């Protein structure tokens, strides 16, 4: 098991290198530092001196890959590639274009993201499974077909409308919770309850439909017929037989998302004014702060790869027949 | 009049023609025919398809662009014709100039007065502060109280014209397809509803703003209709860009195995490990910087917006091929183990021939399912991307831009709900129809579900 994890971690290295190279090409080769400086300083009346100054201030005044002016190892290390890309591997994200330290920003903004994303994730799974089980109980009837239609209709509504509708109804019309904002002390839940609610409701359509197909696949198996033949009640078939067996496909779909919860949700956070990583990314995109975008791409890929690894491990835990080797 | 062909116009017509050819070639294949028959033998499938077809029609009509010739002033004694800088589409003309009646700012649906008070002069010439009358709504009414009766009368008349149009459109279909085994009645009903509401919209919009106006005074209904082209084009073109990459790499990886497979797997794992929205945002931003630094490329403003739009389709396509590639690779792996492929090998058939004649036709169903499934996802994604600020150009009408412009207006008192309602309705209908249709297509073409039904 341990050897397997180590091997998977080693496999992850080329992928991270690939991510790194890709972002480097996107940010420095497709768009040269000169272009970046020009767009950061404004489109018009940019003097070459101003560009040089900006590049020097932000550390973009070096050659891309190889520095012929330096001596020894510094030929490789005193370059943009080493400064901006290789350092990411040591989790050294450097400073944003506006001069803030990215590592501290990420460390403080991670927790509000998690405070919204984790409850949404857990409550969402619970609600979706319950709804799906209820629908599966009535499989083959009009109720089932009607429910599937409702799921598809719910899926067809844009996420933006869920957020806007939730804010309008719950916060503005009924005045139950504040429309947006966040507090670290005191009644945090007041600010969390609406984003979590919106996130859960928005996910019901796609989620419950997916779980329904999983449960239906299990419900057609022989062991279900056997259980029914030996006199099990429909409820005990659902919860004692179908649910545990459907856990394996559920796990694969779900576990891979867990590490990404740290990244938060772009839309929810920006609409509800939560100072998490999602709104951090959005602000970076809007202010064209490429240093932050670069770092977030790297963090996101690491979390995704960890998710894949966790998926494999959870397989063995849920299904003893699977052995990792 | 001078026709203007934008890149996206050319691409969408190319797409429609190639799809038509594709289906024309497939018509003799009994298996495929049977599956499509299954999709269309349900009433739901018919209704969904009719709705999608109506959207595509609007998108195509809105893709025929031209520039109007300007009338030379008397003083200018030259034969040269000058053209309007604004690009008009056939659809703009068909809606009877719905988009050319601007107000000053917001106004409610069917309103006669503007939404905001302004300084105006009353009958005696005194300055007062009141709601000014709209420029293009209810001009023909002698008294505001006549409005309800007028709307009712005009609606009834529009409905009668609409029914006449329905009779013209549906009767030939009825004569042709009377004995068909498909539930055409469902399609005709849908067509009738769409045609009647279209006639109603066009005729009433000459006298009122049916869905009000937005902040800039533009007609909301017209903007929602213009959003159709953007949504449909994005949904199809992005998939079109993705298909060749995904299919080529997927089939090669599954067929040749070995190092080709390793490379392809590495490529898509790397790509899918990057958070999609960040990759898209970064690419769009970089393209934006490029356009900003090279402003001389485009003659008309619309061409610049169009270039951005095409770039967005390309970026969406290039960043999202990994799922389809994975599916095709797995299927090809399975197929290349089958007896008939082995037999072809033994007969010395070349690789390209095996791939083209034996492997590709058997992964077509995956491509088809993905094409329909991705369509609705892309339409939804457009709204989110526009909200983030990396979507289509603001000058190009789209539902995402409408939502983006209107989302803070719900907090006003009284609430401005019509912009969001317009965008919501037209987007919801398209995505719902596409989702329902893709469900049916998947049920019909996915061998797993068809097997299950056969055994049940």
Give me the mean pLDDT over the A263-270 stretch: 85
Closest Cα in chain A to B437: A152
Q: What is the mean pLDDT of residues B332-336?
A: 89
A274: left (phi over 0), alpha (psi -120 to 50) or beta: beta
* B395-419 confidence digits (pLDDT tens): 888 898 888 888 777 777 777 888 8
Q: What is the mean pLDDT of residues A219-236?
A: 89
Q: Which has the minimum average pLDDT: A219-223, B142-146, B314-318?
A: B142-146
Contacts of A36 in chain B (CB under 8 A): 289
- Decide: helix, strand or coil at residue B251: helix
Contact residues, chain A, for B292 at CB < 8 Å = 39, 43
State the Rg of chain A over Cα.
Answer: 25
pLDDT at B302 exceeding the cut of 80: no
For residues A269 and A282, give the distance between their C-alpha atoms in angstroms, rounded to a whole number. Answer: 9
Q: Which of A146, A151, A156, A164 is the mutation pick for testing B, counting most B CBs within 10 A?
A: A156
**B228, B304 Cβ separation under 8 angstroms:** no
* Nearest-Cα residue of chain A relative to residue B283: A26
Check residue B434 and give its pLDDT.
93
**Residue A30 to residue B283: CA distance in whole angstroms:** 10
d(Cα B317, Cα B271) in Å, to the nearest integer? Answer: 12
Of B384, B236, B393, B238, nearest to B316 by C-alpha is: B238
Nearest to B431 by CA among B406, B401, B455, B399: B399
| Alpha-carbon gap, residue A96 to A103, rounded angstroms | 10
Enumerate the residues of chain A whose CB falls inside 8 A of the CB of residue B390. Answer: 285
DSSP A38: H
Cβ distance of B281 and A285 shorter than 8 Å: yes
What's the CA gap between A97 and A106, in Å, rounded?
A: 15
**How far apart, in whole angstroms, are the C-alpha atoms of residue B412 and residue B115?**
12
Who among A26, A36, A297 is closest to B275 (CB)?
Answer: A297
**What are the b/e assignments for B33-49, b being 16+ CB within 10 Å?**
eebbebbbebbbbbbbb
Helix/strand/coil for A67: coil
Q: How far apart are CA A64 and CA A46, in angstroms?
A: 23
Question: Where residue A75 falls among pLDDT bands split at 50, 70, 90?
Answer: low
The fraction of chain A above a pLDDT of 90, given in percent, is 18
For A35-49, b where at least 16 C-beta lie within 10 A, e where not — what string? bbbbbbeeeeebeee
Cβ separation of A164 and B410 shorter than 8 Å?
yes
E-strand stretches of B45-202: 65-70, 82-89, 118-121, 127-130
Comparing alpha-carbon positions, the chain A residue that sits nearest to B415 is: A168
Report chain B residues touching chain A, CB-CB < 8 A: 266-267, 269-275, 277-279, 281-283, 285-286, 289-290, 292-293, 376, 380, 383-384, 387-390, 403, 407, 410-411, 415, 420, 424, 427-428, 431-432, 435-436, 439, 452, 456
- Cα B155 from Cα B136, distance rounded (Å): 18
CB A51 within 8 A of CB A34: yes
Residue A1 confidence class, pLDDT cut points 50, 70, 90: confident
- Per the CB < 8 A criterion, the answer to whether A281 and A292 are in contact is yes
Asked if A227 contacts A237 with a C-beta cutoff of 8 angstroms, the reply is yes
Query: To the nearest whole angstrom, how far is the Cα of A272 from the nearest Cα of chain B?
Result: 12
Angle between the N-to-C axes of helices A159-166 and B364-388, in degrees from 0 to 180, rounded to the nearest 10: 40
| Interface with B, mutate which of A23, A25, A30, A285 (most B CBs under 10 A) | A285
Look at the block and give the residue holding tokens 């007041």. Answer: A190
Give the chain B residue nearest A11 (alpha carbons): B266
In angstroms, the CA A194 to CA A174 distance is: 12
Asked if B301 and B395 count as a contact pair (C-beta separation under 8 A), the reply is yes
Distance from CA of A230 to the nearest CA of B (A): 22
How close A131 comes to chain B (CA, Å)?
20
Q: Quick one: closest CA in B to A297, which residue?
A: B274
Closest CA to A121 of A254, A270, A311: A254
Q: Do residue A286 and residue B274 have CB atoms under 8 angstroms apart?
A: no
Nearest CA in chain B to A39: B289
Angstroms from B411 CA to nearest CA on chain A: 7
Please indicate whether, in this complex, the C-beta atoms of B293 and A35 are within 8 angstroms of each other: yes
In the numeric block, the tokens 């009377």 are attached to: B178
What pLDDT is stored for residue A120 in this prediction?
93
Terminal alpha carbon distance of chain B: 62
B389 and A179 in contact by Cβ < 8 A? no
| Interface mutation vs chain A, best among B270, B291, B398, B418, most A CBs within 10 Å | B270
Q: What is the structure's pLDDT at B133?
A: 80
Q: Which of B230, B406, B220 is nearest to B308 (CA)?
A: B230
A186, exposed or middle or buried, with CB in 10 Å at 0-12, 13-18, 19+? exposed
The answer to whether A159 and A270 have CB atoms below 8 angstroms apart is no
In terms of pLDDT, which residue wins out, A265 or B77? Answer: A265
Q: How far is A72 from chain B (nearest CA, A)?
A: 32
φ and ψ of B89, to 5 deg: -115, 165
Is B194 or A257 the better-scoring residue by pLDDT?
B194
How does the average pLDDT of chain B come out, rounded? Answer: 85
Encode pLDDT of A137-155 as tens digits: 888 889 998 999 999 999 9
Q: Determine the Cα–Cα distance for residues A324 and A312; give it in Å rounded to an integer.
A: 8
Chosen from B267, B289, B323, B456 to mutate, greatest number of chain A CBs within 10 A: B289
**What Å distances lie between residue B450 and A65, B26, B454, B456, CA to CA?**
55, 20, 6, 10
Give the model's pLDDT for residue A202.
Answer: 92
Position A128 scores a pLDDT of 94
Q: What is the pLDDT of residue B251?
A: 92
Q: Which residues contact B66 (CB under 8 A, 6 or more apart)?
A: B1, B2, B3, B4, B87, B88, B89, B90
| CB–CB contact A167 B293 (8 Å) | no
pLDDT for position B263: 92
Q: How far is B427 from chain A, CA to nearest CA, in Å?
A: 8
Q: Cβ distance A188 to A115 under 8 Å? A: yes
Size of interface A-B (CB pairs under 8 A): 121
Per-residue model confidence (pLDDT) at position B456: 45
- Per-residue model confidence as pLDDT tens digits over B96-141: 878 788 888 888 888 888 887 877 777 777 788 878 888 878 777 8
What three-state secondary structure class fits A264? coil
| Residues B371 and B353 sit within 8 Å (Cβ to Cβ) | no
Instruction: Look at residue A230 in the predicted model and tell me its pLDDT.
Output: 92
Question: Nearest-CA residue of chain B relative to A162?
Answer: B424
Nearest to A164 among B389, B420, B456 (CB): B420
Q: Which of A88-102, B331-345, B379-393, B414-428 has the lowest mean pLDDT?
A: A88-102
Q: H or E element: which one contains B4?
A: strand B2-4
Q: How many CB atoms lie within 10 A of CB A101?
A: 12
CB atoms within 10 A of CB A19: 25
Reply yes or no on whether the pLDDT at B455 is more than 60: no
Burial class (CB within 10 angstroms; exposed 0-12, middle 13-18, buried 19+) of A298: buried
- Spell out which residues of chain A touch residue B432, defining contact as CB-CB under 8 Å: 152-153, 156
**Contact A156/B435 with Cβ under 8 angstroms?**
yes
Beta strands in chain A (DSSP E): none
Query: CA-CA distance, A112 to A128, in Å (whole number)?
Result: 24
pLDDT tens for B228-240 read 999 999 988 998 8
Q: What is the per-residue pLDDT for B433?
A: 94
* DSSP codes, A136-180: HHTTTSHHHHHHHHHHHHHHTS-HHHHHHHHIIIIIIIS--S-SS
Which residues in chain A touch residue B451, judged by CB atoms under 8 angstroms apart? Answer: none
For residues B41 and B181, the answer to whether their CB atoms sit within 8 Å is: yes
Contact B384 A282 (CB under 8 A): no
Q: Does residue B428 register a pLDDT over 90?
A: yes
What average pLDDT is seen over chain A?
Answer: 83
């Amino acid at each position: 098991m341990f050897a397997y994890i180590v091997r998977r971690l080693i496999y992850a290295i080329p992928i991270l290198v690939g991510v790194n190279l890709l972002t480097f090409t996107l940010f420095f080769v497709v768009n040269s530092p000169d272009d970046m400086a020009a767009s950061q300083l404004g489109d018009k009346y940019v003097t070459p001196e101003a560009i040089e100054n900006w590049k020097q201030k932000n550390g973009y005044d070096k050659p891309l890959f190889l520095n012929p002016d330096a001596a020894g190892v510094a030929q490789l290390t005193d370059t943009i590639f080493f400064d901006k890309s290789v350092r990411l591997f040591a989790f050294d994200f450097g400073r944003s274009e506006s001069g803030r330290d990215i590592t501290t920003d990420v460390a403080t903004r991670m927790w509000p993201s998690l405070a919204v994303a984790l409850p949404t994730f857990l409550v969402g799974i619970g609600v979706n499974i319950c709804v799906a089980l209820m629908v599966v109980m009535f499989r083959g009837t009009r109720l089932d077909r009607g429910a599937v239609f409702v799921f598809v209709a719910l899926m067809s509504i844009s996420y933006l409308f869920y957020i806007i509708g939730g804010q309008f109804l719950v916060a503005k019309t009924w005045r139950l919770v504040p429309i947006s904002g966040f507090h670290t002390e005191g009644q945090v839940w007041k600010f969390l309850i609406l984003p979590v609610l919106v996130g859960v409701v928005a996910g019901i359509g796609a989620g419950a439909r997916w779980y329904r197909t999983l449960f239906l696949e299990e419900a057609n198996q022989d062991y279900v017929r056997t259980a029914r033949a030996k006199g099990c009640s429909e409820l005990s078939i659902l919860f004692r037989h179908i649910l545990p067996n459907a856990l394996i496909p559920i796990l694969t779909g779900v576990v891979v998302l867990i590490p990404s919860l740290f990244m938060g949700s772009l839309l929810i956070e920006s609409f509800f004014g939560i100072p998490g990583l999602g709104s951090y990314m959005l602000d970076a995109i809007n202010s064209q702060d490429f240093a932050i975008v670069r770092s977030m791409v790297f963090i996101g890929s690491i979390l995704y790869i960890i998710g894949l690894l966790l998926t494999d491990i959870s397989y063995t835990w849920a299904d003893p027949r699977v052995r990792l080797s | 009049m001078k026709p203007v062909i934008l890149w996206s116009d050319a691409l969408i017509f190319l797409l429609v023609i190639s799809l038509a050819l594709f289906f024309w070639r497939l018509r003799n294949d009994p298996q495929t025919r049977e599956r499509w028959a299954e999709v269309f033998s349900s009433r739901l499938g018919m209704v969904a398809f009719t709705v999608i077809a109506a959207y595509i029609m609007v998108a195509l009509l809105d893709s025929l662009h031209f520039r109007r010739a300007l009338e030379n002033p008397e003083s200018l004694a030259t034969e040269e014709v000058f053209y309007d800088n604004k690009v008009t589409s056939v659809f703009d003309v068909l809606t009877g100039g719905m988009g050319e009646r601007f107000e000053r700012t917001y106004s409610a649906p069917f309103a006669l007065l503007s939404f905001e008070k302004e300084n105006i002069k009353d009958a005696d010439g005194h300055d007062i502060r009141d709601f000014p009358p709209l420029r293009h709504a209810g001009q023909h009414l002698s008294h505001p109280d006549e409005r309800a009766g007028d709307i009712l009368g005009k609606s009834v008349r529009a409905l009668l014209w609409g029914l006449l149009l329905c009779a013209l459109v549906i009767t030939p279909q009825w004569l042709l397809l009377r004995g068909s085994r498909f539930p055409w009645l469902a399609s005709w009903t849908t067509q009738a509803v769409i045609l009647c509401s279209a006639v109603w919209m066009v005729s009433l919009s000459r006298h009122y703003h049916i869905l009000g106006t937005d902040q800039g005074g533009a007609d909301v209904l017209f903007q929602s209709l213009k959003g159709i082209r953007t949504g449909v084009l994005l949904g199809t073109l992005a998939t079109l860009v993705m298909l060749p990459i995904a299919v080529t790499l997927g089939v090669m990886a599954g067929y040749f195995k070995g190092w080709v497979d390793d490379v392809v797997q590495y490529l898509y794992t790397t790509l899918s490990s990057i958070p999609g929205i960040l990759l898209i945002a970064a690419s769009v931003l970089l393209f934006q910087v490029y356009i900003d630094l090279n402003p001389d490329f485009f003659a008309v403003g619309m061409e610049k917006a169009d270039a951005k739009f095409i770039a967005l389709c390309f970026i969406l396509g290039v960043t999202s091929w990994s799922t389809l590639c994975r599916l095709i690779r797995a299927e090809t792996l399975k197929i290349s183990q089958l007896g008939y492929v082995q037999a072809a090998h033994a007969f010395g058939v070349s690789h390209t021939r095996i791939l083209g004649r034996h492997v590709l036709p058997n992964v077509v169903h995956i491509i088809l399912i993905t094409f329909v499934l991705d369509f609705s996802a892309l339409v939804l994604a457009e709204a989110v991307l526009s909200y983030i600020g990396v979507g289509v150009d603001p000058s190009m009408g789209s539902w995402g831009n409408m939502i983006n412009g209107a989302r803070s207006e719900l907090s006003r008192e009284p609430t401005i709900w019509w912009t969001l309602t317009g965008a919501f309705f037209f987007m919801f209908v398209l995505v719902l129809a596409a989702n329902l249709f893709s469900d049916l297509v998947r049920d019909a073409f996915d061998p797993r579900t068809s097997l299950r039904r056969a055994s049940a």
